[in-house]
Amino acid sequence: MKNFSMNELYQLAWSKPSLAQVELTHNCNQRCIFCYNGHFENQNFKNLAETEWLVIFQKLFQLGIRDLNLTGSETFLYPNLIFLLKKAKEIGFRIRIDTNGMLDISEAIPYVEEFAFSVHGIGKTHEEITQTPGSFANLEENLLKALSNNVKILINMTLTKINYHQIKTVYEHFSNYSQNFKFSPFLAIPSNEGRNFDQHLLTINREFLKNYIGQLRTIPAERLVLKHGFHSIFINNPGHYDCSQILLPNCAGGKNKIVVDYDGAVYPCNFFKGKEHYCGNILTDDATKIWRSGKGFLPFRSLITEEKIPSTCKKCAKKPRCFSGCRAWTKLYRKGEFDYEKDIRCGLGAAYLRSRDNE
């Protein structure tokens, strides 16, 4: 890498995004207690037309994106979803759908590389969280349908006080059917735009993180998917952070990921959808301009290129991949600020490497 500075290589890597997380519809048929989108009763949002989504898909492809992740709300509520999937596949995308499994997925299977199912527990525990009676039976039926079709599957489990005790139960329940899925039990984050669920929020302290990490270690490493920067807390092997390689930060926000809302609005991350992080509307604005100078992307980039991270993190051997962790896990997240803020889990989880700042 002689002749090139690390900042030049970052800029090169971020010159084109590779992943779009797209919310086709803002409607949902569940009312999960932790919903980061803030769904409440009796809401009905207007969808963009299919022709408008096709324009957006073309723009995303031209931008360099090849991985299209259709996220929640509930993708299967979009009226002519199969038509859009077919077109997206023709354009050249690899498609992943995040779903709560309430509606039949059969017709979508031929177009989809991976399904990510939201499983928040077994039976009544799942339904206590989704606040939707009967939702577990539908979910299980659709998940088994995907398993029998050999589609890649990720099981997402959002952890709160209600379901934390069921991490192993969920993993074993579906392992009885097949070993052909990956599992991601991650901590619920109270989003600024989402529901308030403080009474169900897990208390993050040293003892809890020790227990959580212990539970994650019981899942085979090849089947465990870590999210929201937990890699840097979970992985302590110094070789993973070897500076002789060119390492890129874990967080994709503003670097290789673009989030597109149901109305075409673009944001850097699903947890940063306030007006201060609005990057433009991809339906009406120039996509390249949005990616290069969208105001919501810039702080995610300058955090790294200008090292706007705490001194504790600058000393930590995990910095090349971590860069102070997930921005939604900082003390000031709810105020929309994150420069020079540390991920609150790091010290508590004794995650700092070659640094004395573990608490």
Type of residue found at 211:
N
Supply the minimum distance, in Å, between the C-beta of residue 295 and other proteins: 22
Nearer to other proteins, 73 or 250 (CB): 250
Type of residue found at 175:
S
Supply the minimum distance, in Å, between the C-beta of residue 262 and other proteins: 26
Nearer to other proteins, 58 or 311 (CB): 58
Supply the minimum distance, in Å, between the C-beta of residue 12 and other proteins: 5
Tokens of 185: 């039990």
Supply the minimum distance, in Å, between the C-beta of residue 255 and other proteins: 11
Nearer to other proteins, 2 or 275 (CB): 2
Name the site residues for other proteins (rule: CB under 8 A).
1-4, 8-9, 11-13, 15-16, 18, 64, 66, 246, 248
Supply the minimum distance, in Å, between the C-beta of residue 3 and other proteins: 4
Supply the minimum distance, in Å, between the C-beta of residue 284 and other proteins: 23
CA distance 247 to 78: 38
Which has the closest alpha carbon to 151: 184, 120, 105?
105
Supply the minimum distance, in Å, between the C-beta of residue 8 and other proteins: 6
Q: Which H or E run contains 233?
A: helix 231-234
Nearer to other proteins, 1 or 221 (CB): 1
Nearer to other proteins, 12 or 332 (CB): 12
Which has the closest alpha carbon to 164: 34, 268, 259?
34
Supply the minimum distance, in Å, between the C-beta of residue 5 and other proteins: 9
CA distance 158 to 335: 23
Nearer to other proteins, 14 or 262 (CB): 14
Ordered DSSP codes for 284-348:
TS-HHHHHHH-TTTHHHHHHHHTT-S-HHHHHSTTHHHHTT--GGGBTTGGGT--TTPPBHHHHH
CB-based burial of residue 154 (10 Å sphere; 0-12 exposed, 13-18 middle, 19+ buried)?
middle
73 preceded by a cis bond (ω within 30 of 0)? yes
DSSP, collapsed to helix, strand or coil, labels residue 168 as helix
Supply the minimum distance, in Å, between the C-beta of residue 65 and other proteins: 8
CA distance 86 to 123: 33
Nearer to other proteins, 67 or 341 (CB): 67
Reduced DSSP (H G I as helix, E B as strand, rest coil) percent helix, strand, coil of the chain, to 5: 40, 15, 50
Nearer to other proteins, 243 or 332 (CB): 243
Nearer to other proteins, 91 or 202 (CB): 91
Sign, CA dihedral 153-266-335-323, equals positive
Which has the closest alpha carbon to 261: 14, 20, 77?
20
